[in-house]
Amino acid sequence: MAQPKQPARSRPSAWRPILVAAVLAFAFAGPAIQFGYTLDDHALDEALPHLEVSVRLEAGDPWAHLALGQCYTEQKRWPEARREYEATLSIDASSAGALRRLAEACREMGDPAGARNAEARLGALPAPRGAQP
């Protein structure tokens, strides 16, 4: 008797890092920071390898790069953060969050020209839908 066909599994190992990236992206969002939410160093150290795997598995996902850049920013690892924000922008040039954070990383690295360039690109973006003039 023939065995019933099992549904194909789609890279189960990819789900956990992507989920961690999504949670961190939410955790670093503006409203969370305004309410004083922060991650301790242990949580960042624990999340970092998952985010790095997520970026390797989903290299074309701007959110994965942005979340990894935010983790590096929290650890003040400015060159790595800058690299991830630039990777985000190479995929999604209209990412206002990546441009803001890239400007911050450039300032922290002593590159005021890079910061001004990121801020100019941010200023050139169209206003978000529903934004008040």
pLDDT tens across 84-119, in order?
A: 999 999 999 999 999 999 999 999 999 999 999 999
Task: Name the region of 92 (left: φ>0; alpha: ψ -120 to 50; beta: rest).
Answer: beta
CATH 1.25.40.10, applies to 14-92: yes
Q: Averaged over 18-30, what is the pLDDT? A: 55
Place of tokens 């690295």: 109
Residue 18 has pLDDT above 60, yes or no: no
Residue 68: CA atoms inside 13 Å, Cβ hemisphere, count?
Answer: 27
Q: What angle do CA 109, 115, 117 make, to 5 degrees?
A: 140
pLDDT tens across 29-52, in order?
A: 544 444 444 556 667 777 888 888
Predicted confidence at residue 57, as pLDDT, reads 86
- Model confidence, pTM: 0.70
